[in-house]
Amino acid sequence: MKSISQTKFLSENYTLLHGLNAVPVGLVLFSVSLWANIVQYPIKNFTLPIVLILVFLLSSLAVDQYYKRTFGEVKPILARRRQYWILQSICGLLGIAAFLADISFHFPINFVGLLFAALFLLDKPTAKLPLNKFTTVRLISSLCIIFVSIAPLFFGKNWWNILGVRTTLIGVTMFVGVLVAIQGAIWHIFFVNSLPVKEAKDE
């Protein structure tokens, strides 16, 4: 370990720093959004997105096993696990509400994107002062998502069409998918460099 502060950071965010878990999520979000952008409407065949989701699930299982075999497993206490699932449920309900608002009212801002921005900003490690390289990445990512989510206010509702994207919702989810994958790769690189494979095996 390089420092006591880094050791503390790793212990507090051990599972969160398993960044490869986020890469399949980002890729499937981007891929399904891309499919939604190029498919002919009305949609009659959902085979491709189903296959993509299955690939995502298998990839997630493989990545999870990789981390367990290589670095071991740290189980949070029961109270934290309950808190995690409660937060996940709340985020899921907010996501459904944001999606319904976006497809029903066609506001010049994208609520799904703003929700993603809030999650990027508030999820651990949270973007709070003083900033470090992790919280800086989260802050920049959140600001970028906010910008693309409110861009129709400045460039018009159809500005995504210039980029070949049908709707703001599709454009935002494609953008978020790329950011999630990139952030996951960054988190994994830091984790591996901070906790070398050889060291973990010796323990």
Local confidence band at 114 (pLDDT 50, 70, 90 cut-offs): very high
Report the range of poorest mean pLDDT among 77-81, 98-102, 126-130, 199-203: 199-203
Computed over every residue of the chain, the mean pLDDT equals 80
Count, residues in the chain? 203
Q: Domain locations in the chain?
A: 4-202
Angstrom distance (rounded) from CA 113 to CA 144: 10
| Both structure tokens of 91 | 């985020």
Angstrom distance (rounded) from CA 111 to CA 97: 9
Residue appearing with tokens 């210039």: 162
The yes-or-no verdict on residue 201 having pLDDT over 50 is no
Where do the H-state alpha helices sit in 39-77?
47-71
Local confidence band at 144 (pLDDT 50, 70, 90 cut-offs): very high
Angstrom distance (rounded) from CA 156 to CA 53: 33
Local confidence band at 145 (pLDDT 50, 70, 90 cut-offs): very high
Angstrom distance (rounded) from CA 181 to CA 24: 7
Angstrom distance (rounded) from CA 184 to CA 23: 6
pLDDT in tens, 73-85: 666 665 566 776 7
pTM over 0.85: no
Residues 6 or more apart in contact with residue 97 via CB below 8 angstroms: 111
CB atoms within 10 A of CB 142: 21
The yes-or-no verdict on residue 122 having pLDDT over 50 is yes
Local confidence band at 127 (pLDDT 50, 70, 90 cut-offs): low
Asked if residue 114 lies in contact with residue 151, where contact means CB atoms within 8 angstroms, the answer is no
Can you state the angle between helices 111-122 and 78-105, rounded to 10 degrees? 160
Q: Which residue has the higher pLDDT, 127 or 185?
A: 185
pLDDT in tens, 10-58: 666 666 667 788 899 899 999 999 999 998 888 888 888 899 889 999 9
**Which of 107, 120, 111 minimizes the C-alpha distance to 178?**
120
